[in-house]
Homo-oligomer: A and B are copies of this chain.
Amino acid sequence: MQQKTKPRSNQVRSETTQATLIAAARRVFVEKSYAAAATPDIVVAAGVTRGALYHHFADKRALFAAVVEAEAAAVAATIEAATPAGLPPLQALVQGGEAFLDAMAVPGRTRLLLLDGPAILGRAAMDAVDERHGGRTLHEGLTAAMEAGVIRRLPVAAVTTLLSAAFDRAALAIEVGGDADEYYEALAALIHGLVLK
């Protein structure tokens, strides 16, 4: 038995409450989708009250944004861990791509980052999230490959966006039972198609 309420500093109190809320919200958002996830459900899952939720987050949407941000950070961390620096540009692209697909296989991630995220927060906000986290990988990889003269010189931003979209859709397709190998092959073909002959 521990003491009833061991005194905690306000900082850790806030941090743990927010973390618990974000974790619980993630579960409910994933299980029921953003629209169907009710704040009463979330706070019960977190073991707090709605008062705590609205004290720490402006509204349900802000809580969702925090969940998305954390999820994107987790994806980025996974990718970085899987792609050592110093690889040849082209291989870094393909390998990073596979790491991305692996990371997106974690249950709920496609729903959070690829379906509800864009709809609730907007494509622009999601782009900003990507930019803060993993998106850089692809962008820098393509830029490096172009400057190294490995692939065609093209508008980098546009190509990044389009390839990113292709990876996203591949993650979605694989999740619903699509043959992962076929998507790997198709993605590799798209990337290698950019290689200067």
Which residues of A are at the interface with B, using a C-beta cutoff of 8 A? 33-35, 114-116, 118-120, 122-124, 152, 154-155, 157-159, 161-166, 168-170, 172-173, 176, 178-179, 182-183, 185-187, 189-190, 192-195, 197
Q: Which residues of the partner chain B approach A192 to less than 8 Å between Cβ atoms?
A: 193
Say whether chain A's binding surface is mostly helix, strand, loop, or mixed: helix
CA distance A157 to B116 in the complex (A): 25
How many identical chains are in the complex?
A: 2
Q: Which residue of B lies closest to A61 (CB)?
A: B35
Q: Which residues of the partner chain B approach A114 to less than 8 Å between Cβ atoms?
A: 118
CA distance A195 to B194 in the complex (A): 11
Q: A155-B185, A183-B158, A185-B154 are in contact. Are A169 and B164 (CB under 8 A)?
A: yes
- Please list the 6 inter-chain residue pairs (A to B) with the smallest Cβ-Cβ separation, ordered nearest first: A193-B193, A165-B169, A119-B119, A155-B182, A158-B186, A162-B166
Q: A119-B116, A119-B118 are in contact. Are A169 and B161 (CB under 8 A)?
A: yes
CA distance A49 to B194 in the complex (A): 55
CA distance A187 to B166 in the complex (A): 12
Q: A186-B159, A197-B197 are in contact. Are A119 and B123 (CB under 8 A)?
A: no
CA distance A170 to B160 in the complex (A): 11
Q: Which residues of the partner chain B approach A193 to less than 8 Å between Cβ atoms?
A: 189-190, 192-195
